[in-house]
Chain A
Amino acid sequence: MGKLTRRTFLISGAMLGGGALFGFIATPNRLGIRRSSSKQEAWLATWVNIAADNKITVLVPHAEMGQGTHTALPMMLAEEMEADWSMVQMQQAPAESIYAVGDMIKGFLADGLDVPAVFQRHTDYSFYKIASLMNMQITGGSGSVRFTGQAGMRRAGAAAKEMLIRAAAENWQVSVDECEAKLSQVFHHASGRSSSYGELAEQAASYEPPLHPVLKKKEDYTICGKPIFRFDTPAKVVGMQNYGIDIQLPGMKYAAIRHAPVFGGSAVSFDKSGIANGKGIETVVKLADSVVVIADNYWRAKTALSDLSVEFSDGEHGDFNSNNLFVEFTKALSSADIEVDFEQGEAGKELSSAAEIFSADYSVPFLAHATMEPMNCTAYFHDGILEIWTGTQDLLGARAFAAEVAELDFEKVIVHPVQLGGGFGRRLPTTGNYIEDAVRVAMQVSYPVKLIWSREEDMQHDYYRPAVQSQFKAILNSEGQPQLWHNVYTDIGINDDTAAAFTPYAIPHQSISRVELETPVPVSYWRSVEHSSQGFFLESFIDELAHKAEKDPFSYRLSLLKQQPRFAAALVQAAKNIGWEKNLPKGHGLGIAIKESFGTIVAQAVEVSLDDKDNLKIHRVSAVVDPGEVINPEIARSQIEGGIIYGLTAALFGKISVEKGRVIQSNFPDYQVLKLSGTPEIDVAFIESGERIGGMGEVGLPPIAAAVCNAIYAASGRRIRQLPLIDQNFNILA
């Protein structure tokens, strides 16, 4: 894109419908600014457009996949800008470099934090030609509100407000201090004058934005903290929301795909004699690891594909079996080849001298994402340009990825943003196999092609949540307090946030380590990433220790959280909300767990029941969430409920197994998911501790598996160390 100047900005603004445009305009070279660590930076990498009729459009650089970002981010900007919310609208920013989420990254750096794993990996993903730190537009790491919102949207809004006030003050020849901005107007009370933002916008846009705009105090908020309705709900209830799978283009054809069943396998040949005369069949394309049938209707393509005889080769992994992997895990855990991530006290010495060591092994399986909208991508190569329509969590990354696949310049690729029918980590460019397929097909034909994966392909060619095994050893003192916490777990990838395995409890001697292994199973981010398994391990084992010490598991935790007031507060509240002390009917049990992830602390207490036929029912979940601050309580509640359901589904049913290099599960019956009937009552409470704002999209998930299993123990004395529960002889209602 070259040098970015204010002019570039205004032109882009004009393209988006005219009006003044405020943005990141402090110096001509945006990249230069972003790399600088000087304090003299305007953190305004976001855009707001004010039209003459006072309509304000906020451009959001992140994808909407259900998490409500498209509403929460404009709320943050509008709040600081003193905008009239009824006149604010949202527009998804296009896949252009100027919308890269540099500020998201800087949000981490500025506070002395590390770049989170989800972004980091992309930064050294050399596959992308443009893979520099800033060329990303990622939605993930629960980062949109935390980083783009805090560092970008708020400051942009505040700067815009100051510029608008300055414009009014200059017009009226009064001091800015005498002016007040409110509901998209600037007032000079002394003289009774007022001007709308629309009237002031053009003049305001000629100023340099202030470097340090003053942000509002929380007690003055009129928009943030309110359960404001989402922008996208009306379209979603009438079937008018356009997802990638809904794209329709003139002359477009439909494609169905079958991949080599074994990871790393390839497509050798096909015989199309059986389908050649089928109605509407266009052609068959062979890619390296798949065959694709193109037709004038998806069903025709899919039907022909299932009639097509194809020869696949298995490659090297035709004998891989995920059951054997756990045997390998067990061996690896006792190997000497471990990476120590945290040590405190004298863990080694304690271990060798101890009289009684309490030990336990836990494991979790591979998991598929199973987004409700199966993978799909529409691609059209024409006039040297590749156009793409697809749901992606990173528009710019997807653009770079597609350019790489097509061997085109970045500039020759256009990615059209569309709503995602679920993301959960599946739709990142690093897992862009569905984009790659469509691009390769599009490069071979002259018309637009919509390639849709069947649910079976989606399930069997995902990038999975890694399987993990974790081994704990502990020593308790005479009061039952843990003296030693010794943990080693397996790491087959996607485990950059090793702190996810750290315990918040005050234990003097600790050693936390992992052993790295390789498997042929492709792995990637899955809602809450490492925390999804670590939450289960850590919070199950501490529960075991409490019972070993013959202490109440809630009080036991509390006694170890004296240095962690936020954890303690959330835990106490969750216990209170479920009624920890209440008398329970026969067969019922309560469990509790707590996990911090993405800067947010979540405690969950769960009530379950088991009858004498091992029918397991989850009755209730009380979640207490301390994200520091809540932007939109209604959206936040949905996210927490969603995280709980996603995690509960996994704990109860979720498992991907691989036999002979092939995934066994194929669709919802054998990859069972929770439905209305199995959904417990969920109550969600927020603690606004005022600490730095944390994430919301993933944080509801990590404690749930342990809370449920701890409740099962309380109800029955059965300790669950392996997920999913359906494999442990329970009958569970979906």
Chain B
Amino acid sequence: MAFKLIINGEETIVDVEPAMPLLWVLRDELGLTGTKFGCGIAACGACTVHVNGVATRTCVLPVEAVDGAEITTIEGLGKNGLHPVQQAWIEHQVPQCGYCQSGMIMSVVSLLDNTGNPTDEELNQAVTNVCRCGTYQKVRAAVDSLKQS
């Protein structure tokens, strides 16, 4: 079946089974491998993208559920240069292996879009991505540096 997705601003038609999760449409059908596979059951956040501006885990999200939606992936985040969150990530040297970071960054961007000045608690609630390298403290520091005070 054909589905229309607006991916990083570009209209894209994919012809796949309605049940195929968006993650695999992005990675295997469209070659957008910046979005990662970590658990496949919405438990780690590695596959997070923005669906109509909202951070969403895509490994269990059937493509039929996002027909017509605007999708932003890590590749599209900094279309015009680096996004401030990406900049802060470099400034604070957040990534280690980096594998979780696409998802981590997408979650943080979405949080900051909603609330420019999240409390620690709001950050904890919104960013539940797993990082096995243990970059959490630097994630927190980078987010703190982005708060509008």
Contacts and interface: CB of A to CB of B under 8 A. Distances in A.
Contacts of B135: 638, 641-642
Interface in B1-39: 16-17, 20-21, 23-24, 27-29, 31, 33-39
A229 B44 contact: no
B132 A424 contact: yes
A243 B90 contact: no
Contacts of A245: 33, 36-37
A235 B74 CA distance: 11
Interface residues of A, number: 65
A644 B101 CA distance: 19
B24 A646 contact: no
A645 B136 contact: yes
B41 A248 contact: no
B134 A644 contact: yes
Interface string B54-65: 000000000000
Interface string A649-688: 0000000000000000001110001111101011000000
B78 A67 contact: no
- By secondary structure, the B interface counts as loop
Interface in B107-149: 123-125, 127-140
Nearest to B19: A303
A548 interface: no
A675 B128 contact: yes
A65 B95 CA distance: 11
Interface in A431-481: 452, 454-455
A703 interface: no
B143 to A, nearest CB: 9
A473 B83 CA distance: 59
Given A239-B75, A452-B37, A638 B96 contact: yes
Given A668-B39, A668-B130, A229 B98 contact: no
Contact of A638 (B28, B39, B93): B93
A676 B128 contact: yes
Interface in A663-717: 667-669, 673-677, 679, 681-682
A302 B24 CA distance: 11
B130 A673 contact: yes
Most buried by B among A65, A454, A668, A669: A668
Nearest to A421: B99
Contact of B97 (A239, A298, A421, A677): A421
A374 B37 CA distance: 8
Given A239-B73, A299-B28, A372 B46 contact: yes
Contacts of A227: 93
Contact of B132 (A296, A419, A646): A646
B20 A638 contact: no
Contact of A237 (B35, B95, B131): B95
Contact of B34 (A238, A642, A681): A238
A273 interface: no
A675 B97 CA distance: 16
Contacts of B138: 638, 641
A572 B30 CA distance: 56
A370 B130 CA distance: 11
A298 B24 contact: yes
B71 interface: no
Contacts of B105: 237
Contact of B40 (A240, A246, A455): A455
Nearest to B35: A239
A241 B98 contact: yes
A94 B134 CA distance: 29
B32 to A, nearest CB: 8
A682 B43 contact: no
B97 A297 contact: no
Contacts of B27: 298
Given A374-B37, A421-B97, A668-B43, A673 B132 contact: yes
Given A370-B132, A422-B133, A644-B134, A667 B96 contact: no
Nearest to A252: B28
Contact of B39 (A455, A635, A643, A674): A455
A376 to B, nearest CB: 9
Given A424-B132, A676-B127, A232 B37 contact: no
A677 B20 CA distance: 32
A78 to B, nearest CB: 19
Nearest to A679: B136
A713 B105 CA distance: 38
Contact of A372 (B20, B78, B133, B137): B133
Contact of A232 (B24, B78, B98): B98
A66 B37 contact: no
A239 B43 contact: no
Most buried by A among B17, B38, B100: B38
Given A229-B90, A642-B134, 5 more contacts: A65-B97, A66-B97, A372-B99, A422-B133, A677-B128
Q: Top 5 closest A-B pairs, CB basis?
A: A239-B34, A645-B134, A66-B97, A421-B99, A236-B98
24 contacts: A232-B95, A237-B105, A240-B75, A243-B99, A248-B31, A297-B24, A299-B23, A371-B99, A372-B44, A372-B99, A373-B38, A419-B97, A419-B98, A421-B36, A424-B132, A454-B40, A455-B39, A639-B96, A641-B137, A641-B138, A642-B96, A644-B134, A667-B41, A669-B43
